[in-house]
Amino acid sequence: MKLVMCFLIIFNGLSAYSKDPSVSLIRTKFHHSTTSEKSCKDLINLLEPYTANNNPLFLGYKGGATMLMAKYAINPFNKFSYFTKGRNMLEKAIEADEKNVELRFLRYSIQTNVPSILGYKDHLTKDKIFLKNSVSSVKDRELKKIITLYLKQKN
């Protein structure tokens, strides 16, 4: 009986971790990461198990949060390291799902906010056109609103 109880406790614990967080939660945590290093680290930890193979969108957000860590680093080498690592994750996510509007929006919003010296502006025009052409087909009302407001703000 003890063995069965132990198995049930372990199984319940594992199943709680196997559930993916909601996209809405990830968006909120990403937004908080822009002003809080702790939130940024928490988001990176939450998204650790995700890759281009099992969830390109979450990999993209993990990449974005990793790039945001550069904001909190003091050492210039660490800043550049965080940025490069995050950029590579985001690009890998987009490669895996290049028609994903949210991933393209994530890259666009990052590229409009990073300093030019980092040389990460290659896709600005292409992503802006893609977003303008795709936003009307977005089913997620929250995402559609975010993209629409951001594009209006950047015009």
The string of pLDDT tens digits covering residues 109-152 is 999 999 988 899 999 999 999 999 999 999 999 999 999 999 99
Say which residues have a Cβ less than 8 Å from residue 92's Cβ, sequence separation at least 6.
Answer: 52, 59, 63
Range of the domain at 65: 22-154
Other CB atoms closer than 10 Å to residue 58's CB: what's the count?
21
What is the rounded CA–CA span in Å between residue 61 and residue 104?
11
Tell me the two tokens of residue 111: 């590229």
Whether residue 58 lies inside any domain: the answer is yes
Q: Residue 2 domain-assigned?
A: no
Q: How many domains does the chain have?
A: 1
Nearest one of 88, 94, 89, 95 to 108, comparing CA atoms: 94
Domain assignment present for residue 59? The answer is yes
Would 1 be classed as within a structural domain? no
71 within a domain of the structure (yes/no)? yes
Q: Which has more pLDDT, 13 or 96?
A: 96
Task: Establish if 13 belongs to a structural domain.
Answer: no
Beta-carbon contacts of 138 under 8 Å, excluding residues fewer than 6 positions away, are 101, 144, 147
Contacts of 149 (CB under 8 A, 6+ apart): none
Q: What is the pLDDT of residues 27-63, one digit of tens each?
A: 999 999 999 999 999 999 999 999 999 999 999 999 9
